[in-house]
Amino acid sequence: MPKVYIKGKGQVDLNNNDFLAEGGQGKIFAKGNVVYKLYHEPSKMIPSAKIDELSVLTDTNIIKPEDLLINSKNQPIGYTMKFVPDTNPLCKIFTKAFKQREGVKEDQIIKLVRRMQETLSHIHDKNILAVDLNEMNFLVSKVFDEVYFIDVDSYQTKNFPATVLMESIRDRHMKPGHFTKETDWFSFAIVTFQMFIGIHPYKGKHPTIQNLEERMKKNISVLNPTVSIPVICYPITNIPKSYLEWYKALFENGLRVSPPQDLTNNFVINTIVKKISNSNNFDMEEIHKFNDNIIDYYHSNGVEIIVTEKHVYVNGRKDVLNVKKPVFGFTQKMNRPIVAFSKDGLVNIYDVLQQKTLHTCVGKNYMEYDGRIYVQGEQNIYEVNLIEGKDTFVSTQSVSNILEKATQMFDGVVVQNLLGSYYVSIFPKPNHHNQINIKELNRYKIIDAKYKNNVLMIVGNKNGKYDRLVFRFNENWEYDCRITKDVCYNGINFVVLDNGICICINEEEKVEIFNNKKDSATLTEIDDPAIHGDMKLFNKGTKVLFAENNKISSMTMRKK
């Protein structure tokens, strides 16, 4: 790697272990509490004069350019920024499933929105415009108490106009290229609306106009009574009253005004209840009902685990499990349920039946696949081995090497950006690991992913739009790929039955049915009035189950 210097401060040593990400402009490294952005083409580097103009931004959650980076020839090649580790893209908290899994409460959303409003006001007070205020230009902390503004180098300052703007937040009532504080607040409104409700204000279904461009020009938003929204979204009544009136003024009446200062917690999260009846294609039968909402479901050789917001049920036995984001595995011999959860910066391995901690280890993240628990360390993915005897002992074994800062752990899969190329790591059996280069993912920012039984689904953002990519693997880890472009991101919801049939409820609230075998041609799509995106899919062998609020039901295809 060529030598890099911080102007006026000396050389900095960067290596592949410091690699964080790569985008269209350059590579990003992180070392200590500093990020180093190095441009592919130094000629495209922002002028140092613009860095000076951005220096007036003093709010601590604005991640702006700081020091100039130069090469051995004293040529500018990049700049430094503050590093904020352990964050999520803001768009993740748009989805109900993520909020429930991570325990994100409505008061936290209100605090984040208020913080964003304060920060944007600070930017405007310094006579700077953010312009490209799309959801990908924000990061939220892992504990959901802070939101960070990124890609600040694109902001419009006194002598440097903005040139980049995502189409999904562009104000169609303003002349292209003309930006004001009001256009910033319009973009801010679109992003924060999604934080409250989970859908872009100009998405949903209108009887005659489906085009986003026309809907925005004609001020026909989801607040219009003629527009329907997916059941997976929160109802409009969940928006604080003062903000709801502001959204109506912007989205329906075409006014351009700044948001209200009074953003109070004057609402309670409600869910839309849709009864499972009148299905044209499926027989549905309720099999369990609880006192609080269902978060997850596990089944292994006759042991059934149901996780709700407040309890865990093991074959009907109720225990209190007051932890966030638990994942369950099972011992190989006795099939005992074991739970992993994070506490005080450590991953805890806990025996549910004996109610005791078996092991703690340092880990950034953890997941379950096929009953096994995996932990992400600094340079490795570890498999948790449960050794059964008179007592249960725990050991960890490295099954994969990783670049820590360039690695994301999802549901059953690990995704790495290795110096610009994406690789997925899959763990098909104990103490085994397969790493596959997925070229189709290049140029995407990976938002969500899930792998199960030869099927990998990934949602990525590219050019401001979300695409869903479906991969199917064979025994040699060769794959085919199907891409659904420009989807409304609301999470990934699919199961693969033991017979290889994949059932998916897609972003249009339709059921996709296909085989998990690579190159299998049949894809069935069913549009059924009883199916909606708020039905969380699970499976028990070859049986399809789904959770809806506090109920679990079975679903079978009706014979015709």
Degrees, nearest 5: CA angle 426-429-432: 65
Please say if the pLDDT value at position 11 is more than 90: yes
Tokens for 359, please give them.
Answer: 């092991």
Other CB atoms within 10 Å distance of the CB of residue 67: 18
Which is nearest to 207 in space by CA: 187, 186, 226? 226
Residues 65 and 10 in one domain: yes
CA separation for the pair 113, 138 (Å, rounded) = 12
Residues 246 and 98 in one domain: yes
Domain CATH number, residue 34: 3.30.200
Q: Of 206, 235, 252, which marks where a domain is finished? A: 252
Q: Of 252, 272, 295, which marks where a domain is finished? A: 252
The answer as to whether 189 is a domain residue is: yes
CA separation for the pair 547, 286 (Å, rounded) = 9
Q: How confident is the model at residue 44, as a pLDDT?
A: 87
pLDDT digits (tens, 9 = 90+) for 203-244: 999 999 988 999 999 999 999 999 999 889 999 988 999 999
Residues 14 and 118 in one domain: no
Contact (CB, 8 A) for 424 and 438: yes
Which is nearest to 155 in space by CA: 137, 143, 136? 137
The answer as to whether 360 is a domain residue is: no
Other CB atoms within 10 Å distance of the CB of residue 43: 8
CA separation for the pair 307, 294 (Å, rounded) = 6
Residues 41 and 169 in one domain: no
Residues 223 and 78 in one domain: no
Backbone angles phi, psi at 546, to 5 degrees: -145, 145
Classify residue 389 by burial, with Cβ atoms within 10 Å: 0-12, 13-18, 19+. exposed
Range of the domain at 21: 4-82
Q: How confident is the model at residue 264, as a pLDDT?
A: 62
Residues 45 and 160 in one domain: no
DSSP conformation letters of 314-325: ETTEEEE---SS
CA 483 remoteness from chain centre: 18
The answer as to whether 128 is a domain residue is: yes
Residues 43 and 96 in one domain: no
Contact (CB, 8 A) for 325 and 364: no
Tokens for 129, please give them.
Answer: 């415009």
Q: How confident is the model at residue 324, as a pLDDT?
A: 81
Residues 104 and 124 in one domain: yes
Confidence category of residue 253, pLDDT binned at 50, 70, 90? very high
Residues 18 and 47 in one domain: yes
Contact (CB, 8 A) for 411 and 451: yes
Contact (CB, 8 A) for 553 and 286: yes
CA separation for the pair 277, 536 (Å, rounded) = 17
pLDDT digits (tens, 9 = 90+) for 509-521: 999 999 999 998 8
Contact (CB, 8 A) for 68 and 205: no
Residues 133 and 205 in one domain: yes
Most confident of the following: 32-41, 325-334, 449-458: 449-458
Report CA dihedral (305, 307, 313, 314) to the nearest 10 degrees: 20
Distances (CA, A) of 363 to 82, 349, 382, 543: 23, 12, 9, 34
Contact (CB, 8 A) for 339 and 350: yes
Please say if the pLDDT value at position 154 is more than 60: yes
Residues 69 and 134 in one domain: no
Strand, coil or helix: 215: helix
Domain CATH number, residue 108: 1.10.510.10
CA separation for the pair 60, 363 (Å, rounded) = 27
Q: In what order do the strands lie in the sheet with 479-487?
A: 445-452, 455-462, 465-473, 479-487
CA separation for the pair 58, 408 (Å, rounded) = 30
Q: How confident is the model at residue 254, as a pLDDT?
A: 93
Segment 422-432 shows an average pLDDT of 95
Rg (CA), the chain: 24
Backbone angles phi, psi at 132, to 5 degrees: -90, 65
CA separation for the pair 245, 260 (Å, rounded) = 9
Q: Is 487 left (phi over 0), alpha (psi -120 to 50) or beta?
A: beta
Q: Is 219 left (phi over 0), alpha (psi -120 to 50) or beta?
A: left
Q: How confident is the model at residue 558, as a pLDDT?
A: 83
The answer as to whether 30 is a domain residue is: yes
The answer as to whether 271 is a domain residue is: no
DSSP 209: -
The answer as to whether 506 is a domain residue is: no
For the chain, helix (H) and strand (E) counts, in that order, are 6, 38
Segment 452-466 shows an average pLDDT of 95
Please say if the pLDDT value at position 276 is more than 80: no
Segment 126-139 shows an average pLDDT of 97
pLDDT digits (tens, 9 = 90+) for 155-214: 999 999 998 899 999 999 998 889 999 999 999 999 999 999 999 999 999 999 988 999
- Token look-up 């039901």 returns 553
CA separation for the pair 5, 10 (Å, rounded) = 5
The answer as to whether 105 is a domain residue is: yes
Please say if the pLDDT value at position 37 is more than 60: yes
Q: Of 252, 276, 305, which marks where a domain is finished? A: 252
Q: How confident is the model at residue 272, as a pLDDT?
A: 41
Contact (CB, 8 A) for 254 and 173: yes
Q: Which positions ≥6 away from 550 have C-beta within 8 Å? A: 289, 290, 291, 292, 293, 294, 308
Please tell me the total count of domains within the chain: 2
Contact (CB, 8 A) for 389 and 424: no
DSSP 16: G
Q: What share of the chain is helix, strand, coil (3-state, %, to 5)?
A: 20, 40, 45
Residues 179 and 44 in one domain: no
Which is nearest to 278 in space by CA: 508, 526, 553, 531? 531
Flag whether the pTM goes above 0.85. yes
The answer as to whether 141 is a domain residue is: yes
Of the chain, the percentage scoring pLDDT greater than 90 comes to 77
Backbone angles phi, psi at 229, to 5 degrees: -120, 155
